[in-house]
């Protein structure tokens, strides 16, 4: 990536809050968004804890619009609206405004609901809006409709890497002069019987004993799977010259990014994290920085035994030549919010940008016994980032073996 991309707007709907300031404040205060699920529908599931979003649909979306959207798209649209407002609602030709918004599964809640309708009431009672509510590009299309965006419209579907994928796609549209402003992000809402049963059947979900807020344990010795979360996040990306011309506050910069594939297994990561390491190296090279320049690494860190260990090994090799240098902090936010699947990369990108902007790293939850392979320290209390040039690496890895790595810089 030859030019920095300005980040001028942020939006979030998460288990910690319905805006990006409330989510950030809750994270700094050490709160958890994980809780026990409603036993009325979860009692027989192998995992009964989740990161439930504090999303009040009627307060945030008009009823006529909300009825036409799956829950995942509702949250995605609200996050995009917040990011657009936060960016100052840029004025530009509709043909130069793009939308790139990803999801891992699309409208699974609507699909589950309408299959029940079909079984119990027959085909005549199936909602005629079912298809536009469940299609994976529904949220991207709804954001474009809301903003009147007639530029490029894309909907990356790359499992848990979808949100980060969307950010990189959006940056490339700007660099290729296909748009002047792009709204990017990701969402998912899989906290329902279908989603939880499917991931539970894979034995991917945490089934640990103990309080719900301690169930997600990225990189801890006693980790036992990931905790499903729901939510969305959005960012507004612009070229630097355009942001300067309209005197827009810049909350951070995207410096570089890279994508690789494991080509190893449809769900299990390559055990030694070789392709994840290659993606990190390529992203740093594109950004023109080295591992020694980083103050923060935002890990993918789902809390699965194999995934976390592979990422730890990859980070160990990445930082192998910097033994005498100050090591960056490592942050694994899924301990507090769960795993938002298609929304994870976007939410955690927003949190990374806020860490750099504010010069703070929240305390890491639920990791009293870190994996010995992990080469980086985790903050035990809210910690400060030192130095005027603040740089962070952000990892997002998805089923299918996709590795997306982004490099962010603070606004200073």
**Catalytic one of 251, 300, 355, 367:** 300
Place of tokens 């962070």: 392
Q: Is 51 helix (H, G, I), strand (E, B) or coil?
A: strand
**Catalytic one of 20, 160, 208, 251:** 160
Q: Give the whole-angstrom CA distance, residue 282 versus residue 168.
A: 13
Q: Are 96 and 179 in contact (CB under 8 A)?
A: yes
Q: Strand 402-409 to strand 296-298: parallel, antiparallel, or no bridges (unpaired)?
A: unpaired
- Helix 20-28 vs helix 344-358: angle between axes, to the nearest 10 degrees? 70
Contacts of 17-26 spanning 24+ positions with Cβ under 8 A = 17/54, 18/53, 18/54, 18/55, 18/56, 18/60, 18/78, 19/82, 20/82, 20/86, 20/233, 20/350, 20/354, 23/347, 23/350, 23/351, 24/351, 24/354, 24/358, 26/336
- Helix 71-86 vs helix 108-121: angle between axes, to the nearest 10 degrees? 150
Q: Is 174 helix (H, G, I), strand (E, B) or coil?
A: helix
If you write DSSP's letter for every residue of 134-149 in order, what string do you get? HSTTHHHHHHHHHHT-
Q: Is 300 a catalytic residue?
A: yes
Chain CA centroid to CA 149, Å: 23
Q: Give the whole-angstrom CA distance, residue 305 versus residue 151.
A: 42
Q: Which tokens go with 103?
A: 């999801």
Q: Give the whole-angstrom CA distance, residue 303 versus residue 220.
A: 8
Q: Is 187 a catalytic residue?
A: no
Chain CA centroid to CA 213, Å: 20
Length of the chain: 412
**Catalytic one of 20, 86, 251, 339:** 339
- Helix 108-121 vs helix 193-201: angle between axes, to the nearest 10 degrees? 110
Q: Is 64 a catalytic residue?
A: no
Q: Are 226 and 339 in contact (CB under 8 A)?
A: yes
Q: Give the whole-angstrom CA distance, residue 335 versus residue 70.
A: 26
The set of catalytic residues is 160, 300, 339
């Amino acid at each position: 990536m030859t030019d920095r991309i300005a980040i001028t707007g942020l939006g979030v709907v998460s288990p910690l809050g319905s805006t990006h300031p409330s989510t950030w404040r809750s994270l700094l205060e050490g709160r958890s968004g994980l809780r026990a699920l409603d036993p009325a529908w979860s009692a027989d599931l192998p995992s009964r804890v989740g990161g439930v979003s504090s999303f009040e649909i009627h307060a945030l979306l008009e009823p006529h619009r909300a009825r036409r959207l799956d829950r995942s798209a509702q949250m995605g649209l609200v996050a995009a609206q917040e990011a657009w407002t936060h960016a100052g609602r840029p004025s530009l030709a509709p043909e130069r405004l793009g939308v790139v918004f990803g999801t891992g599964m699309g409208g699974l809640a609507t699909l589950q609901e309408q299959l029940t309708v079909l079984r119990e009431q027959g085909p005549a009672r199936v909602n005629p809006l079912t298809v536009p509510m469940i299609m994976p590009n529904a949220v991207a299309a709804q954001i474009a409709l809301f903003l009147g965006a007639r530029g490029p419209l894309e909907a990356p579907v790359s499992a848990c890497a979808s949100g980060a994928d969307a950010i990189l796609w959006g940056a490339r549209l700007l660099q290729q002069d296909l748009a002047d402003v792009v709204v990017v992000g990701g969402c998912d809402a899989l906290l329902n019987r279908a989603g939880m049963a499917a991931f539970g059947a894979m034995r991917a979900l945490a089934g640990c004993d103990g309080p719900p807020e301690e169930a997600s344990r990225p990189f801890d010795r006693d980790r036992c799977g990931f905790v499903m979360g729901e939510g969305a996040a959005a960012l507004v990306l612009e070229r630097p010259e355009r942001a300067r011309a309209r005197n827009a506050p810049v909350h951070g910069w995207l410096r570089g990014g890279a994508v690789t594939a494991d080509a190893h297994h449809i769900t299990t990561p390559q055990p030694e994290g070789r392709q994840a390491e290659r993606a990190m190296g390529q992203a740093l090279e594109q950004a023109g920085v080295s591992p020694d320049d980083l103050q923060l690494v935002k890990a993918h860190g789902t809390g699965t035994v194999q995934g976390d260990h592979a990422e730890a090994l990859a980070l160990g090799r990445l930082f192998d030549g910097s033994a005498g240098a100050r090591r960056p902090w490592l942050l694994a936010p899924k301990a507090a919010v769960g795993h938002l699947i298609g929304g994870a990369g976007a939410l955690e990108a927003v949190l990374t940008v806020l860490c750099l902007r504010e010069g703070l790293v929240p305390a890491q939850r639920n990791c009293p016994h870190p994996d010995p392979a992990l080469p980086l320290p985790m903050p035990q209390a809210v910690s400060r980032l030192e130095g005027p040039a603040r740089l962070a690496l952000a990892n997002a890895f998805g089923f299918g073996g996709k590795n997306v790595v982004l490099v962010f810089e603070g606004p200073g």
